Structure 1
Amino acid sequence: MKAYWQLTLAQLRIFARNRQVLFFTLLFPIILMLTLGSFLGNSGGTSITMAVVDQDGSQESKQLLSTFENNESIQLDKRTDVDEALDELKESDYQVVMEIPEGYGEQLQSHTDESEAFDLPVYYNETDATASELGLTVVNAAVDQVSKNIEDYSPAVAVEAEGVRALDLGYIDFLVPGIVAMMIMNNNMNGVAGQISAWRERGILRRMQGTRLKASTFIAGQITARVILNALQAILVLIVASLLFQVQVNGSWLALLTFVVLGTLAFMAIGFIIAGLAKNPESAGPIAGFASFPMLFLGGVFFPINSMPEYLQPIVHILPISHLSTALRETMNVGIPFFDLWHHWLTLAAWLVVAFFIASRTFKWE
C-alpha cells in the first residue's frame, strides 16, 4: 500500500513539474472553450419551433395545446394538415411536429387503470439533434403530466416549469461536456501511450520490474493519479463555464464524476494498448493521434452525433468518446439519472474490460 501511494504522488509530481503537461491538460481545454463559447455560446437559448395538428378538437386536446402555448421556449404553430407540417419539418422550419388524432378526448374520459395508453404521434427533425431532443423532452413532460392528472396526482406545474427553464440550451451547453470528454481522451489515451513508451525506452520500466514492485501496484498508481487529475480538471472547466457562461449541471454531480472515472479508465486502457504496440515514443504519438483525431469529429465533441451521415452512424455508436460525451451532456443538460443512461456506462465498461484484456497481452516492460 505504501508503494501504491508513493507511485501515485510521484505521478502527480511529474504532472505538476511539467509545464507543457499543465498547459495542455489544464489550460488548453479552457482556452478552447472560451474561444468557441465567446463566438458561439452566447447566441441565445435554443428556441423550439413546434407544429401541432389537432384533429380531435376536444376540450382535452385544447388543454394539452395550452400547455405548450404557455411554454416560453416553444414557438407553437397550429396546423390543419399533417403532410404539409411534415414537409416543413423536413425543410427545418420545425424541429417537432405533433399530431393529436381523433378520439384523444374520448380516450382520456374513459381511461381506467386497465386501459392502454393513447399514442400521440410525434415527429422530430434529426438534423437538429439538440433542439429536437429538447422538444421531445418538453412533449414527454407535458404528456406525462396529463397521465398524472388522470391518475389523481397533484399537478406539479412548478416542477415542470423549472425543468423546462433548466433546458434553455445554447451551443455552449452542448460544447462544455464535449470539451470534458475530449480532455479525458487526450489526457489518458495520448498521455499514457507517450509516457509509458518513453519510460520503456529510458529503461525505467525495466528497473521497476527488477524490484519487488508488482505490475498491479504500478498500474493502480497510474490510474489513481490520472483519475485525480481528470476529476480536478473537469471541475475546473465546469467552474469556469459556470462563471462565464452560466452553464449548469442539472443532473447528479456523482453521476457526472462517475462517467469521468469510467472514461478515464477506458481511455487509459486504450493508451496501454498503444504503448504496447509502439516501438518507441516517436511512433506512440502518431498512433495515438491517428486514433484520437477522428474521434474528435465522430464522437459528438463539437457536432451532434445524429447530424452525421447515415453510413457513419454504426461507427459513431460504438466509439467510446461518443458514449462519454453523450452521457456527460445528458447528465449536465437534461439531468437524466445515472441508471437511465445504462447503455452508455455499460458500453464504456465493455471498452474498459476488453481494452485492459488486450493491454495485458500487449504490455511490455522492455
Structure 2
Amino acid sequence: MNAYIQLTLSQLRFFVRNRQVLIFTLFMPLFFMIMLGSFLGKGNDITLDGVVIDQDQSAASRVMVEALQSNAILKLKPSEDVDKSLEQLKHGDQKLVIIVPKNYGEAVGAKGADSTKASFLQVYYDQTNQQSAQIGLQTVNQVADGVSKLLSNYMPIVRVEPIGVQALQLRYIDFLVPGILAMMIMSNNLNGVSGQIASWRERSVLRRMQSTPLKASTFIAAQITARLVMNTAQALIVLLVGSLIFGTQVNGSWALLLLFIVVGTLTFMSIGFIIAGVAKTPESAGPIAGLISFPLMFLGGVFFPVSSMPAFLQPIVKSIPITQLSTAIRQVMNVGAGFGELWQEGLMLAIWLVVSFIVATFTFKWE
C-alpha cells in the first residue's frame, strides 16, 4: 500500500512540475474553448436541420416532400417516428419537424376548387429560437405556396400550420464545452500514457522497477489513480471556466458525469498502453498517438456535430470511443439525461475499455 501511495504521489508531482504537460493537457483545451466560445459561442446555430414525416404516402404528399427536400435552405431527413422526432426537437437536435398528415392527398383534390380552404402541413419549430423559426417558417411557406400554385393554377390550397415547441436554449458554447472535456480526456491519456511509458522503457526505468519487489499491478494501479485524479481536477477547471465566462452548466447528474469521465479515462489509458507497447521508441510513440488522436478530435463530435458529417461516414464515427464520450458528456450537461438514456454510450465505452485492456496486456513490455 505504501508503494502504491508513493507512486501515485510521484506521478501527480510529475504532472504538476512538468510545464509542457500542463500546457498541452490543460491550457491548450482551455485556449480552444475560450477562443472558439468567444467568436462562435454566444450566437445560436441557425442551421435548419429537420425531419419530414409523410403520413399520407400519396402521390400529392410525395410531391410536397420532394419539394421540401429539394429546398437549399432546409436539410430535411425522412422519418416515420413522430414522438422521436419531436423529442429531438425539444433537445435541440432538430430545428423543424414537418408532418404531412393523413388524407392530405384527398384534401388537396377536394379543396382545390375552393381557395378559402386548404390542406395543412404541420410544422413544429423551436419557439425559443425565433431567428431559426422565422427563417424556417418563411421557407416552408414559400415551398407550400409554390406547390399550391402548381396544383391549382395559382390557387393557394396548401397552407402551413406552425406549432411552437419549448426547446432547450442551447448555444454553440454549450455544444463545445463537453466536446473540449472529452478531447482533453482523450489527449491526456492516449498521448500522455504512450509517450511516458515508451520513455520510461527506453531509459530502463521499467526494467529497474521490474527487478524490485514492486508488483506490476501496483505500478498500473498507481498510474490509473494519478491520472484519474488529474483528469477529474482538470475537468472541474474546464467546467468552472466555462461556467464563469460563458454561463454553461451541468443540468444532469454530477455522479453520472464523473462516471463517464472515469470510464473515458480508463479507455484511453488502455489505448495509450497499446501504443506504448507497439512503439519501439518515445520518438515513434508521439507520431503514432498523434496519427490516432488528431483525426478523432475532428471526427468525434468535439467541434462539430456528427449529424453534419457525410451519411456514409456517420456509422463509423458513431462507433469510435471519443464520439461516445463526447455524446454522453454533452447529454448529461445540456439535456440532463440519465443512465437510462445513455446506456448505449456507456456500453460502447465499456466494450472499448475491455477490448483495449486485453490487447494492452499482450502488447505491454517492461523493456
Q: Which residue is equivalent to 1:67?
A: none
Computing the radius of gyration over CA atoms, which structure comes out larger, 1 or 2? 2
1:342 is matched with 343
- CA shift in 2, pair 1:320/1:140, >3 Å: farther
CA contact 1:51–1:94 (8 Å) conserved in 2: no
Cα contact 1:50–1:95 (8 A) shared by 2: yes
Aligned to 2:157: none
2:5 match? 5
In 1, Cα distance between the equivalents of 2:77 and 2:344? 28
The equivalent of 1:87 in structure 2 is 67
Q: How does 1:66-77 map to 2 (within 5 A)?
A: none
Report the Cα distance in structure 1 between the residues aligned to 2:216 and 2:205, rounded to whole angstroms: 13
Tell me which residue corresponds to 1:274: 275
Once the two structures are TM-superposed, the CA of residue 283 in structure 1 deviates from its matched residue by: 0.3
1:37 maps to: 37
CA distance in 2, matches of 1:49, 1:317: 19
* Structure 1 position 132 matched with structure 2 position 132: no
Write the deviation string for residues 71-111 of structure 1: whole angstroms up to 9, x where unpaired. xxxxxxxxx97853663355365578999xxxxxxxxxxxx
Letter in 1 for 2:20: Q
User: Aligned equivalents of 1:235 and 1:305: distance in 2?
Assistant: 25
Call closer, same or farther: CA 1:190–1:121 in 2, change over 3 Å: closer
Residue 46 of structure 1 contacts residue 169 of structure 1 at CA under 8 Å; is this kept in 2?
no
What is the distance in 2 between the residues matched to 1:276 and 1:234?
28
Q: What is the distance in 2 between the residues matched to 1:327 and 1:301?
A: 12
Aligned to 1:315: 316
Letter in 2 for 1:284: A
* Paired amino acid for 1:235: L
Distance change in 2, residues 1:308/1:50 (3 Å):
closer
Kindly provide the CA deviation profile for residues 265-301 of structure 1, in whole angstroms up to 9, marking residues without a partner as x.
0000000000000001000000001111110111111
Mapped partners of 1:257, 1:90: distance in 2: 44
Deviation at 1:306, TM superposition (A): 1.5
Aligned mates of 1:360, 1:208 — CA distance in 2? 17
What is the number of equivalent residue pairs in this alignment?
Answer: 300
Cα distance in 2 between the residues matched to 1:279 and 1:97: 48
Q: 1:91 to 1:131 in 2, by over 3 A?
A: farther
The residue correspondences of 1:350-365 to structure 2 (distance < 5 A) are 350-365=351-366
TM-score, normalised with respect to structure 2: 0.73
Query: Any gaps of 5 or more consecutive residues in structure 1?
Result: 57-79, 100-118, 142-160
Give the corresponding residue for 2:183. 182
RMSD across aligned positions (CA): 3.5
In structure 2, the CA distance between the partners of 1:49 and 1:306, relative to structure 1 (3 Å rule), is closer
Alpha-carbon distance, 1:50 to partner: 8.0
Deviations 1:213-257 (A, max 9, x none): 111111111011111111111111111111111111111111111
Identity, % of aligned pairs? 56
Q: 1:89 to 1:26 in 2, by over 3 A?
A: same
Greater relative CO, 1 or 2 (CA 8 Å, sep 6+): 1
Amino acid at match of 2:260: F
Q: CA deviation at 1:132?
A: 3.3
For residues 347 and 267 of structure 1, what CA distance do their matches in structure 2 show?
Answer: 13
Secondary structure at the counterpart of residue 35 of structure 2: helix
Query: Does structure 1 residue 203 correspond to structure 2 residue 204?
Result: yes
Go from structure 1 to structure 2 and tell me whether the alpha carbon gap of 1:200 and 1:334 turns closer, same or farther (over 3 Å shift): same
Q: Are the aligned partners of 2:266 and 2:353 in contact in 1 as well (CA < 8 Å)?
A: yes
Aligned to 1:17: 17
Tell me the distance in 2 between the aligned counterparts of 1:241 and 1:266.
Answer: 25
CA distance in 1, matches of 2:174, 2:239: 11
Q: For residues 326 and 134 of structure 1, what CA distance do their matches in structure 2 show?
A: 19
Counterparts in 2 of 1:243 and 1:46: CA distance versus 1, 3 Å: farther
Q: Shift of residue 48 of structure 1?
A: 7.7
1:199–1:120 Cα change, 3 Å: closer
For residue 217 of structure 1, what is the aligned residue in structure 2? Answer: 218
Secondary structure in structure 2 of the residue aligned to 1:35: helix
Per the TM alignment, residue 356 of structure 1 is displaced from its structure 2 partner at its CA by 0.7
Structure 1: distance between partners of 2:242 and 2:335 = 17
Separation in 2 of the partners of 1:38 and 1:276?
Answer: 40
CA distance in 1, matches of 2:90, 2:359: 35
Q: 1:351 to 1:50 in 2, by over 3 A?
A: closer
